[in-house]
Amino acid sequence: MPIERAPAKVNLTLHILGRRDDGFHDLESLVAFTCFGDVLKLSPGVEEGLSVTGPRADTAGPLAENLVLKAARHLRAEMPDLHSGSFTLAKHLPVAAGIGGGSSDAAAALRLLAQANGLDLHDPRVMKAAAATGSDVPVCLEKRARVMRGRGEQLGPLLRLPPLPVVLVNPGVAVETKSVFAQIGLKPGEASGYGAHPAIPDGADIDELLRILRKSRNDMEDAASVIAPVIGHVLAVLSAARGCKLARMSGSGATCFGLFADRRSASRAARVIRRDHPGWWAKACVLR
């Protein structure tokens, strides 16, 4: 049975350039991926469907609205003779959390379907299905660090980042992306005026990358913190952890991340956060 991992996506930066006339927002974001996440399996040759298991199965929402099935439907629209099957999703990541869980699941489905149908991931039909499924799905297809632009459909080259020890913390509060954009309040055609995104060189070392990241930001952080004030608490806890070099919110929240000096510091911080805040989800890993 073919298996694909659907790792968490972390927005190390997220700059909003403005809102387009079609209502979507133009973004620039440096994205990296964790070494853990959801797991998706495909049983080919049977009726297309989806079952959800795992510790967060009850948070996955209605199956008919799941992005795994939406991705399959969009690829079938491009390829009517698509060979598909039944998916089984082991759900481990928090939902509506700013770490692209659903988008990464959809990308994993497209990888499985591409493999089953002899398609390259760069096949225009796969890319079109990814963009139609969701703004974050294209960047999740190759699950490698890169800058995404536009509404997510414009992908920069793959980037070699240094290993980044990180702690992800979610306080258990779901934050809808559309609510954060509504709080920001940009009108169609309006530019944000927040400032340009710094260039991200390929192969930067950890010190250079941290200098660049400190010059950047997440333009959704303030608005999300109004909707979910606990985000400010999470950022304060991460910033105060020993060895933390930078704390920031990922995506539209409420998950926040802290970049650490080394893996030992990250693991220690995650243990302390889980001990002191048993209702929070905290995970140490390395971004790539």
Q: 248: domain CATH number?
A: 3.30.70.890
CA distance 47 to 110: 17
Instruction: Work out how many domains the chain is built from and give that number.
Output: 2
Residues 138 and 184 occupy one common structural domain: no
Backbone angles phi and psi of 149, in degrees to 5 = -135, 180
Residues 130 and 11 occupy one common structural domain: yes
Residues 176 and 77 occupy one common structural domain: no
Question: So what's the pLDDT on residue 173?
Answer: 96
**Mean pLDDT, residues 173-194:** 96
Residues 16 and 98 occupy one common structural domain: yes
Residues 209 and 90 occupy one common structural domain: no
> Which of 155, 172, 191 is at the close of a domain?
155
Question: So what's the pLDDT on residue 152?
Answer: 94
User: How far, in Å, are 52, 130, 274 from residue 185 at the CA level?
Assistant: 36, 27, 35
Residues 144 and 205 occupy one common structural domain: no
> Which of 109, 129, 155 is at the close of a domain?
155
Task: Judge whether 213 and 136 are in contact, CB under 8 Å.
Answer: no
DSSP state of 14: B
Q: 35 is in which domain, residue-wise?
A: 3-155
Active-site amino acid positions: 9, 136
Task: Judge whether 31 and 154 are in contact, CB under 8 Å.
Answer: no
pLDDT for residue 195 is more than 90: no
Residues 181 and 118 occupy one common structural domain: no
Percentage of the chain exceeding pLDDT 70: 100
**Whole-model pTM over 0.75:** yes
Residues 35 and 134 occupy one common structural domain: yes
Residues 114 and 209 occupy one common structural domain: no
Question: So what's the pLDDT on residue 72?
Answer: 98
pLDDT for residue 142 is more than 90: yes
Residues 213 and 104 occupy one common structural domain: no
Residues 35 and 112 occupy one common structural domain: yes
Residues 10 and 151 occupy one common structural domain: yes
**Mean pLDDT, residues 31-43:** 97
> Which of 155, 175, 191 is at the close of a domain?
155
DSSP 60-110: S--GGG-HHHHHHHHHHHH-TT---EEEEEE--SPSSSSS-HHHHHHHHHH
CATH code of the domain containing 144: 3.30.230.10
